[in-house]
Amino acid sequence: MVTPLGIMQKYLDKLWRVSESQGALRVLAAVSFTESIFFPLPPDLLLIPMALAKRKQAFRLAAICLFTSLLGGILGYGIGYFFMDVVGMPIIHFYGLDDKYLVIKEWYDTYSAWAVAAAGLTPIPYKLCTLTAGAFKIDFWVFIIASTISRGVRFFAIAGLIYMFGEQARYFLEKRFDLVLLATLILGIAGFVVIRYL
């Protein structure tokens, strides 16, 4: 009988294998890029084990996450700006967030692209903000600055903690990574729930 714990452990084992593979950097970059547009899982799930495996490269890995996330954000912004009806709305519809489209507009009317900064630091789906930022014609450079700050703080905080605490962080995460993974997934789901029921 397949249990939730068994599924989690199987996924965890696969995640560790990916983080140690030769193509891990490409996978990390791809996940970080696509998460800004449509992919549901955050790059943190790969950044953590990869930084633990190569502690001295933790900040480099965080930089890769930031750079590719911004590239994805720019593409998401462009999709929202030019192709919201054709491409952007189907993505929002897929996640069941159609009714939150105008709620996000209110956020932008009040906070401009700084609402993106909040999304970058919270479980609220970043992809939702990139697409709508373009759709509502938010100032592009404010969008970039807000995204850089929020995503940078997020990724470099993870890298910094792993770099500073090293083996302690590794020991804790190796013993409790299933809980960390579960917590990250719950936060991701919570972001969709929060935005859906605002």
Cβ(65)–Cβ(101) below 8 Å: no
Q: What is the pLDDT of residues 10-58, one digit of tens each?
A: 655 666 676 666 778 898 999 899 998 888 778 887 888 888 888 889 9
User: What is the per-residue pLDDT for 109?
Assistant: 78
Structure tokens at 54: 């190569």
Highest mean pLDDT among 27-31, 77-81, 142-146: 77-81
pLDDT per residue over 153-191, tens digit each?
889 988 988 888 876 766 665 565 555 555 555 555 555
pLDDT(197) > 60: no
Considering only CA atoms, which of 97, 122, 96, 116 is closest in space to residue 190? 122
* pLDDT recorded at residue 76: 94
Tell me what pLDDT residue 164 has: 84
DSSP output for 78-145: HHHHHHIIIIIHHHHHHTT-GGGHHHHHHHHHHHTTHHHHHHHHSSS-HHHHHHHHHHTT--HHHHHH
pLDDT of residue 91: 85
Choose between 65 and 104: higher pLDDT.
65
What would you measure as the largest C-alpha separation in the chain, in angstroms? Answer: 53
pLDDT reported for residue 177 = 53
- Convert the pLDDT of each residue in 99-126 to its tens digit: 777 777 777 777 776 777 766 666 667 8
Element (H, E) at 4: helix 4-20
Sorted by sequence, the CB contacts under 8 Å of residue 131 that are 6+ apart come out as 37, 76, 77, 79, 80, 84, 88, 91, 92
Q: In the predicted model, is pLDDT for residue 7 greater than 90?
A: no
pLDDT of residue 18: 67
The number of residues making up the chain comes to: 198
Q: Are residues 68 and 150 in contact, defined by beta-carbon separation less than 8 angstroms?
A: no
